[in-house]
Amino acid sequence: MNIAITLPHRFVQAIIDGEKTIEMRKSYPKHCYAGEDGFFVIEKGTDNIICWCRVNTFFVIDTSLDCLVELQYDNWGSKICVSRKEFFDYCKKSSEIYLWFIDKVKIFSKPLHKEDLIIDKNPQSYCYTPLSYGESF
């Protein structure tokens, strides 16, 4: 099942430019199946859905192991498009951090709107949407 997330403009642009290939979150949607499903990206402060990204893999980081957190940033920080400080500050907020690896991006030539996904408001974390990319668009 696909989901919707809200991202600031800088991350939306990084996805469009192909620089951001990993999304970092404190959780992952258990009913979103890697390799099949993905997420619609709503630009923060707007109702515009800019793109859809398929998730290839979910990867968990145990943030209680400082050496692993350092290694994970060295491996993937540039693909998450955050600074070292942003990464470590985010990791301090949760015992586990999930990396969502993106393997396909569909940029919409004309933005969709959140109503197209049958959702009422921009999600704080994420929300499931009853529509899937393949069936709807």
pTM beyond cutoff 0.85: yes
Listed in sequence order, the residues at least 6 apart from 37 whose beta carbon sits closer than 8 Å to its beta carbon are 1, 2, 3, 54, 55, 132
Q: Please, what sign has the CA dihedral across residues 11, 17, 22, 28?
A: positive
**What are the pLDDT digits (tens) for 86-114?**
999 999 888 999 999 999 999 999 989 98
Q: Which of 43, 39, 41 is nearest to 31 (CA)?
A: 39
User: If we measure between CA atoms, which residue out of 27, 38, 42 comes closest to residue 131?
Assistant: 38
Q: What is the pLDDT of residues 116-129, one digit of tens each?
A: 888 889 999 999 98
Q: Output DSSP code: residue 52.
A: E
